[in-house]
Structure 1
Amino acid sequence: MASPPVPDIILPLSSQKHDPAWKHCHMIKRGDRTHLRCMYCHKLFSGGGIHRIKEHLACQKGNASSCPKVTTEVRRAMQQSLEGVVMRRRKKQKLAEEVKKLNPVKQLEIDAGQSEADMGLQLVAMPDSVEPEAVQLEKKEEVIPKTHERRVRRAVKASPVPVSIPCGSVSVRSNWGGTVENDQVQVAIGRFLYESGVPLDAVNSVHFQPMVDAIAAAGPGLKIPTYHDIRGWILKNSVKEMKATLEHWRESWARTGCSILADEWTTEMDQTLINFMVYCPEGMMFMKSVDVTQIVTSADALYELLKLVVEEVGVNNVLQVITNNTETHAIAGKTLTEIFPSMFWMPCAARCVVAMLEDIEKLEQVSIIMEHAKSIARFIYNHAEVLNMLRRCTDGKDLVHPYRSPSETNFITLKNIASLKENLCNMVASQDWRNSPYSKKQAGAEMADLICSPIFWSSVTTLVQLTEPLVRVLRMVDSYRRPAMGYIYMGLRHAKEVIKKILKRKKDYMPYLNIIDWRWDKELSRPLHAAGFFLNPQFFYSIKGEVPNEIMSGMLDCIERLVPDAKAQDKINKELALYKNATGDFGRKMAIRARHTLLPAEWWSTYGGGCPNLTRLAIRILSQTCSARGCERSHIPFEQMHSQRKNHLEHQRLNDLIYVQYNLRLQQRQFLKNKQSDPISVDVVDVIDDWIMEKSELFTGEDDDSSWMDLMQPVAGGFSSESMNDDDDDPFTVGLDDGVLDVAADDDDDDEDEDQDDGCREEENDVKQEIYDLVKEEN
């Protein structure tokens, strides 16, 4: 039987392809070879490059046949482009001949009929610090004729001699040898952003620097894209690139499976939208946005919507559907899994962990500590002189950094403040602070007293230690670097163990454990999480004693649901024994070492060849995420797209624009390790307002002439907390070593031991209890 034809894959075009002919052809991959295909007659070109395509479109006799379907406008444009290539080549050759005649030591003679004074050209001495190719630009009032200016630029580019061109001032080299002041370039960029209303954090985009580099490389005479180009062929090409990426990733879904993510959110106009995305180890891809304002309370309507998305992705590819945690979503999810019994419905783990942090923040002793920390930040960030003192003492680092939700921001910022304890103490002990008028005012004195309080810092340190494991779990489930399914069960268990280890007494740690257990049992605990733990070799082989029934039962549930075939289930059960006993390739020394170095799915792919059925299931489970949260949605016109007033064609274009915008943001998340931000920016005020906005009752009567113009500029990447970055040193497994957890242990046994030694433990915890009591009294 003949093998099916290999499908064509349209490859995305790089930013370096500026030839106009690229707008009229596709670069496709067929098998192992890359070809160009005409968009009009679909003729395939295996060689000759873009020049051959241009000849084809220009209907010019030569190396390519004429295109029978190309429009007159395109044909003329290609003919003009070919003529331009010929003319440029001739001029380049002529210029090269002229340059050879130039004296490389004394003087650059551009025109024999014109003097140096007329041309404004002269040799300049180059300091040691300047690169040989750098060119000095000097201001000159005379206007240079365009013909001479072009000749000057070309000659300078070809000449090895540094020359001076009247045009601007010194600093940045352009591709034709001229230079412009770096400040002038930055001011020009700023004016564009201010006048056009582009969000200022657009400079944080990973595409910003490549855009500037491409413009600089093109040099003077670059034809910028028009309004219609941006809305037309450039957008079309971007849509094609994104869809080609999706098709490329789709090929991996059969092996790894995929997750459908339903990120539900509410707009400023109180519309409830769901952004549907697909996750696989290759990446996350946005599919579409749906307005569910009218159906969000109907489980039946939500089920129908989810069913359509599952069918669009492919029932056999989908391992789980992750949605919000409400009862309506749970009912819709249950109905969905009854219709499609080979997949799971899962609540969003990130939202669940955020809810845990919110509940912990409501505890009385925690809210007191958090309020004191916020009062320090509020005072500092509302007085320019004090904020400058802080930045001098911290080398430009800020106390506050925005994160995805207020609760995440609160605990991450608290950790950052704890890490800057010495800097804050040095600030209020400095001569600058003592000489400052703020040190004499009541609010300033209260802030200084709080910073100098050992009780406050002990409380902050304890709270950071209690909550950091949960913050790590949150980073884990939101990570783009690796699938989180194999880690979440262990991560939450570890968080509970850390809390018990720090507080020791049951009456102290039970409020925290109750919050975690209630959220876990009510919203999060699912068979996939247990199976993820079971199949992660790093954790499974560290179990002391028998595998807990909860974990084994979850694993069996996954086998029954995800592998409907009874014969395959029986084979997996036989192969489980090899995995449990670490026999065969599982017991190799390399495999044992790799338990802690390879990703779980990679470990199975490498060492699971003797258990093909179990390996196939393990890879699919361990390749999934646990979170439905997408990325930043600001300045993307979702509301405009879902508005009632819309032209049909423009609505299609807007839908494609959002498709491109959101997917570009999803792709660039992994590159934004140190996104620059300012805590007092209006862009982030909704997340950190409690940390930077004054409370009038605390500052009444305090006159202040602070101005933002007096502020020191924040340092790029000046946020010191490591918890903001998903670094390569693997925050997933920090602290999750073999000695920390005994998964098979029973909490009740710990309670019995605690009752026997309660007297001793009470003495050990007296200090911590006093801290909480004293902080409460201070408040």
Structure 2
Amino acid sequence: MTASNMPCNVPLLTDGNIIGRKRMASSTIEALFDAKTRSKLDALIARMFYSAGLPFSLARNPWFRQAFIFAANNKFSGYVPPSYSKIRTGLLVQEKTCVERMLRPIKTIWSLKGVSIVSDGWSDPQRRPLLNFMAVTEDGPMFLRAVNIEGELNSKEYIFEKMLETIDFVGAANVVQVVTDNAANCRAAGLLVEQKYPRIFWTPCVVHSLDLALKNIGAIRSEEDPEYEHCNWISEVVSDAQQIQDFILNHSMRLSMFNDFSKLKLLAIAETRFASQIVMLKRFREVQQALTLLIVSSKWSDYRAENEGKARFVREKVINGFWWDKVKYILDFTEPIYSMIRVADTDKSCLHLIYEMWDSMIEKVKVIIYRHEGKKEDEQSPFYNIVHEILQSRWLNNNTPLHCLAHSLNPKCYTQAWLAEVDGREAPHVDEEISIARNTCFRRMFGDGPELHKIKQQFGNFSSFTAGFNSFDSLEDRTYLEPKSWWAIHGSFAPELQKLALKLLGQPASSSCAERNWSTYGLMHSTTGNRLNPGHAEDLLFVHQNLRLISRKSTEYSSGPTRFWDIGGDTHEIFGGGAHFLEEAVLSLDEPELEALLDDIGALENEAARTEA
């Protein structure tokens, strides 16, 4: 057959055609080999997770992903991963140095934004006492140090000494307040700090104060106690709920039956959690229908024979409408307290909100109790009187001049709209208590010289809407802008007061970040995990906590495959027992909202998995 007779659709076997075919075949083989290599690597990574018991949430960690992406894009012939010893020593020191360098930009603005030093004590799994210090700004909490105080007397003098070391490290001129819990030695140490540095204030943790108030209200009382008749029913209801929960959680079949009727879990709340009893009762209300369906189901009788007495008790309570009314009443009158805890139990700037919030919270509690009891404003309520006395006592122990000054610098508190919200509400500059505390702050911060006179004059102009504070925009924006934004835009007419306001309005009101920090410490430094000495453990905690702070400033934190990588884990529906999502979340008590968030993350991951498949 000649060339002219060959079918036109069959190409000639030229050298170029042969080379092309070889390339195509080679490309196909390479692609097949590459797919097998990728699958092998996936399997090895998965095996690492399974064999070491690593949480699956580690796959969202940005540095886990970066490590493999970096390795894939760079040829490392003969590369061997770092050894156990190198990771826990040399590389840890190297990483700490790197993190310290990344934190420098945050530290450079401490003088402008001000710093709150937050401290809390803890004992590690080997029962060594530790003292934790963090520097908190509106940018978030920065871990500073964890002091091993083993063999030391945890006295006010010792705590004061460690506070001074931390203040000197941060810079006394940058520190606005020292925040601790209400323990006597911490309070005494805080007052010693105030004597040493009059411009630095000791502030008790408002969340701790509110939690103590809740515990006082619901405390078990003896029958001889005059308050027994009015308050002991609260502890009885909480005890009933605990018994019901234990009866279900402590039996695998009963728990399985409950799970058939409810998508929500019964929460095993740790006693150390703020408002733990309220959180438990809130969940009980949400699963009330599931509990009812459980005890009337046909299977209930099969698993009650082991303990007829407790089964009868559970049934009587679950079907008792009056008992559920008591649960609802507890949740109703404690809701204002619980809501305030939720606001303050974060690292957000809320120091300037505390004074007004506490006043409003007490008034809201009164309205709810009086409505429930059907009483008029001028009538007496023995139960409310007890609650009011507890809340008022805690406020007197918690309130400081700094709360009053921060409240005074909130532009919104001078607007007619804000004043009209509550009958009898007064602007901060005409309230006697607030004015006395504010002037005390001014004198401590600025002495008795020209600076004091200048700051008072500037505050007078600000509070009376004169000398630069009377423009239309300035007046209108007091209602709509956030306080710090308002001062940034309209505060140039009072530069010294503006600088002070920008500092105070960016401070937290609780030591929650320091307390949550121990959950992370326990997670990394457990009796079954790394047996680190205190120095190595401190370095590891420094790196861990501050990498989280740095990560949360990136855009990738709120989107993409590493979204919210440090929140949750694989057991986010359980409190305690190694699950610390509440401690790691910004909204540390928003368990239903956070469950929804994590469910959303899970749905995105499942969708991604289906796409990959």
Using the size of structure 2 for normalisation, the TM-score is 0.74
Q: Deviations over 1:547-595 (max 9, x none)?
A: 3211122222222222337323222222223332345775666656655
Q: Deviations over 1:629-658 (max 9, x none)?
A: 412231444999xx9xx9xxx876554334
Q: 1:164-179, aligned counterparts within 5 Å?
A: 178=39
Distance in 2 between residues matched to 1:536 and 1:343, nearest whole Å: 20
Distance in 1 between residues matched to 2:597 and 2:392, nearest whole Å: 27
Q: Deviations over 1:132-185 (max 9, x none)?
A: xxxxxxxxxxxxxxxxxxxx445665xxxxxxx6x6xxxxxxxx6648998x96
1:190 aligns with 2:50: yes
Change (3 A) 1:406 1:236: closer
Q: 2:393 aligns with which of 518, 538, 550?
A: 518
User: Does the Cα contact within 8 Å between 2:346 and 2:510 map onto a contact in 1?
Assistant: no
Distance in 2 between residues matched to 1:300 and 1:355, nearest whole Å: 25
Q: 1:551 aligns with which of 434, 443, 464?
A: 434
Percent identity between the aligned chains? 21
Question: Cα offset for 1:529?
Answer: 1.0
What SS does the aligned partner of 2:487 have?
helix
1:386 aligns with 2:243: no
Question: Cα offset for 1:597?
Answer: 5.5
Q: 1:382-421, aligned counterparts within 5 Å?
A: 382-395=250-263, 397-400=264-267, 402=269, 405-421=272-288
1:334 aligns with 2:197: no
User: Does the Cα contact within 8 Å between 1:674 and 1:725 map onto a contact in 2?
Assistant: no
User: Does the Cα contact within 8 Å between 1:638 and 1:658 map onto a contact in 2?
Assistant: no
Q: Deviations over 1:287-312 (max 9, x none)?
A: 11223355545333333332222122
Report the equivalent of 2:603.
none
Distance in 1 between residues matched to 2:17 and 2:252, nearest whole Å: 60
What SS does the aligned partner of 1:608 have?
helix
Distance in 2 between residues matched to 1:270 and 1:232, nearest whole Å: 23
Question: Cα offset for 1:375?
Answer: 1.8
* Aligned partner letter, 2:115: C
Report the equivalent of 1:215.
68
Question: Cα offset for 1:479?
Answer: 1.0
Q: Deviations over 1:751-773 (max 9, x none)?
A: xxxxxxxxxxxxxxxxxxxxxxx
User: Does the Cα contact within 8 Å between 2:349 and 2:505 map onto a contact in 1?
Assistant: yes
Report the equivalent of 2:572.
677
Q: 2:367 aligns with which of 489, 496, 501?
A: 501
Distance in 2 between residues matched to 1:206 and 1:556, nearest whole Å: 54
Q: 1:253 aligns with which of 104, 107, 110?
A: 110
Report the equivalent of 2:354.
488
What SS does the aligned partner of 2:352 have?
coil
Report the equivalent of 1:721.
592
Report the equivalent of 1:693.
none
Distance in 2 between residues matched to 1:354 and 1:659, nearest whole Å: 29
Question: Cα offset for 1:258?
Answer: 0.8
Report the equivalent of 2:314.
447
Question: Cα offset for 1:539?
Answer: 3.9
With 592-601 and 285-294 compared, the bigger mean Cα shift is at: 592-601
Report the equivalent of 2:522.
634
Q: Deviations over 1:61-84 (max 9, x none)?
A: xxxxxxxxxxxxxxxxxxxxxxxx
* Aligned partner letter, 1:192: A
Question: Cα offset for 1:435?
Answer: 7.1
Count of residues paired in the alignment: 524
Change (3 A) 1:454 1:305: same
1:109 aligns with 2:25: yes
Distance in 1 between residues matched to 2:289 and 2:481, nearest whole Å: 38
* Aligned partner letter, 2:25: E
User: Does the Cα contact within 8 Å between 2:134 and 2:143 map onto a contact in 1?
Assistant: yes
Tell which structure's C-alpha radius of gyration is larger. Answer: 1
Change (3 A) 1:217 1:659: closer
1:656 aligns with 2:539: yes
Distance in 2 between residues matched to 1:628 and 1:99, nearest whole Å: 74
User: Does the Cα contact within 8 Å between 2:125 and 2:526 map onto a contact in 1?
Assistant: no
* Aligned partner letter, 2:572: S
1:608 aligns with 2:491: yes
Q: Deviations over 1:328-360 (max 9, x none)?
A: 333333332222222112223232222222212
Higher relative contact order structure (alpha carbons within 8 Å, sequence separation ≥ 6): 2
Distance in 2 between residues matched to 1:338 and 1:558, nearest whole Å: 14
Q: Report the structure, 1 or 2, having the larger helix content.
A: 2
Change (3 A) 1:204 1:367: farther
User: Does the Cα contact within 8 Å between 2:352 and 2:406 map onto a contact in 1?
Assistant: yes
* Aligned partner letter, 2:522: S
What SS does the aligned partner of 1:319 have?
strand
* Aligned partner letter, 1:453: N
Distance in 2 between residues matched to 1:305 and 1:400, nearest whole Å: 38
Question: Cα offset for 1:313?
Answer: 1.4
* Aligned partner letter, 1:495: M
Q: 1:376 aligns with which of 244, 247, 268?
A: 244
Q: Deviations over 1:179-205 (max 9, x none)?
A: 8998x9656512222xxxxxx6x5456
What SS does the aligned partner of 1:721 have?
helix
Change (3 A) 1:154 1:309: same
User: Does the Cα contact within 8 Å between 2:59 and 2:65 map onto a contact in 1?
Assistant: no
Report the equivalent of 1:573.
456
User: Does the Cα contact within 8 Å between 1:273 and 1:289 map onto a contact in 2?
Assistant: yes
CA RMSD of aligned residues (A): 4.1
What SS does the aligned partner of 1:487 have?
helix
Distance in 2 between residues matched to 1:352 and 1:99, nearest whole Å: 83
* Aligned partner letter, 1:517: Q
Question: Cα offset for 1:366?
Answer: 1.4
Change (3 A) 1:726 1:330: farther
Change (3 A) 1:217 1:451: farther
What SS does the aligned partner of 1:346 have?
strand
Distance in 1 between residues matched to 2:433 and 2:159, nearest whole Å: 31
What SS does the aligned partner of 2:493 have?
coil
1:298 aligns with 2:217: no
User: Does the Cα contact within 8 Å between 2:270 and 2:276 map onto a contact in 1?
Assistant: yes
Change (3 A) 1:403 1:606: farther
Report the equivalent of 2:407.
533
Report the equivalent of 1:145.
none
Question: Cα offset for 1:225?
Answer: 3.4
* Aligned partner letter, 2:363: E
Q: Deviations over 1:209-266 (max 9, x none)?
A: 6515753785698853332442355424421232123322221111121112221223
Change (3 A) 1:657 1:722: closer
Report the equivalent of 1:10.
none
User: Does the Cα contact within 8 Å between 2:124 and 2:522 map onto a contact in 1?
Assistant: no
Change (3 A) 1:354 1:599: same
Q: Deviations over 1:420-446 (max 9, x none)?
A: 323333444455557766799443343
Question: Cα offset for 1:275?
Answer: 1.0
User: Does the Cα contact within 8 Å between 2:269 and 2:575 map onto a contact in 1?
Assistant: no
Distance in 1 between residues matched to 2:58 and 2:481, nearest whole Å: 31
* Aligned partner letter, 1:367: S
Q: 1:33-44, aligned counterparts within 5 Å?
A: none
Change (3 A) 1:724 1:506: farther
Distance in 2 between residues matched to 1:204 and 1:404, nearest whole Å: 27
What SS does the aligned partner of 1:101 have?
helix
With 608-617 and 661-670 compared, the bigger mean Cα shift is at: 661-670
Change (3 A) 1:315 1:207: farther
With 228-237 and 461-470 compared, the bigger mean Cα shift is at: 228-237
Change (3 A) 1:389 1:447: same
Distance in 2 between residues matched to 1:259 and 1:211, nearest whole Å: 32
